[in-house]
Amino acid sequence: MDTKSPTDTAATVIIGQMVRPGFEQAFEEWQNDLNREASKYPGFLGAEVNPPTAVQPEWIVVYRFDSIAHVQAWINSGTRQERLAAGEKFFDGPGTQQVLGGGARHTDPLVTVAVSHHVTPDNVPDFLAWQERLRLAESRFPGFRGTELFRPVAGVQDEWTTLYRFDTATDLDRWLVSEERKQLLAEGEKFAEFRSRTIDNSFGSWFAFDENGAETKGPSEFKTSIAVWVGLYPTVVLLTLAMSPLHMPLWLGLLIGNLLSSLVMSFVAMPYYVNPLLKHWLRPPPNVPAVKSDWRGIGVAAAALAVWTVVFYLVTRVFWQLP
């Protein structure tokens, strides 16, 4: 089990929010605007918005900062409080929040459960021993991918939080309804008061949402291939142009260029360009016919590639004579 101490630097905030029916699109736009404000604060590393699925009933927002202090600065900021007041009309009841000090960023499209417990100081040894028995039992179930235990964060969160991950919702359900789990919950009766949240698609990837909100691991291979092409073409050309004055040999240029392309695709092109551009194709709204959504998505992808092609032609053949 991976036990984190309060001195670990990175911090993750998981926020769950039920949204009033009919306000989903407005909420998502409001949340994306709030995330842009968060990105202006010191220590911001990233933010993800995961819509509800059959496994996850809430909208889940994940923020990641480089320290607890920077998390506190954002959570308590006047900017966030003002935006929350403006967004209350979208909320269906109060939201929930969990702050995790430390821990690695997981990019596998897993199903994650976050469980928070209030534990008194004198019960901590028993709680840790009970958690270890849970971990050992979970590890014997198919699809289990690991667990992390996060200590309380002074001044931010008083609860202990455990994350455990499975490959699929089916694997998770097998553990949740198992006799082994029921027996262990009975053994830990004094820790029975807890909050549990299921997070579909864990902490995101290049495609950090499920297609049509169903229990899938992402868009089809065809869609992902086209989407990567839309992001990869401008990324590779721009990096090639930027690196051309260095006159590196082919083997070295490709080595460094491939590294830079991977980084730019993961942290810039996919989250800030491709996913917003093609989100209604990669994750079609439920009331839009699939054929209409597919043609529209292909049209948007083709138009984006056409624009980049014209721009790069003008830059390399008309304004400058480049290879």
pLDDT average, residue stretch 210-226: 57
Show the tokens assigned to 256. Answer: 């460094």
The pLDDT score that the predictor gives to residue 216 is 39
Residue type, 217: K
Phi, psi of 194 (to 5 degrees): -150, 160
User: Alpha-carbon distance 63 to 77, whole Å?
Assistant: 15
- 61-109 pLDDT, tens digit each: 888 888 878 887 887 788 888 888 888 899 887 777 777 765 544 444 5
**H or E element, residue 305:** helix 290-313
pLDDT score of 119: 86
Closest listed residue to residue 35, CA positions, set 69, 60, 9, 18: 60
Query: Where does the pLDDT of residue 208 fall: very low under 50, low under 70, confident under 90, or very high at 90 and above?
Result: very low
Contact criterion met (CB below 8 Å) for 186 and 132: no
Higher pLDDT, 269 or 163: 269
pLDDT in tens, 156-174: 667 888 878 787 778 888 8
Complete edge-to-edge strand list for the sheet that includes strand 160-166: 2-4, 144-150, 160-166, 111-117, 194-200
> In this structure, are residues 14 and 97 in contact, taking their beta carbons and an 8 Å threshold?
yes
Every domain of the chain and the residues it spans: 2-200, 219-319
Topology adopted by domain 2-200? Alpha-Beta Plaits (3.30.70)
Reduce the DSSP state of residue 311 to 3 states and report it: helix
What's the rounded Cα separation, in Å, for the pair 235 and 240? 8
Judged against a pLDDT cut of 50, whether residue 214 lies above it is answered with: no
19 contacts 49 by C-beta, under 8 angstroms:
no
Q: Which of 40-54, 100-114, 176-190, 233-247 has the lowest mean pLDDT?
A: 100-114
Share of the chain above pLDDT 70, in %: 82
199 pLDDT band, cuts 50/70/90, is low
Cβ 156 vs Cβ 71: under 8 Å: yes
Indicate if the pLDDT at residue 17 is higher than 60.
yes
- Which residue did the predictor score with more confidence, 290 or 178? 178
Q: What is the pTM of this model?
A: 0.45
Cα(110)–Cα(223) distance, integer angstroms: 20
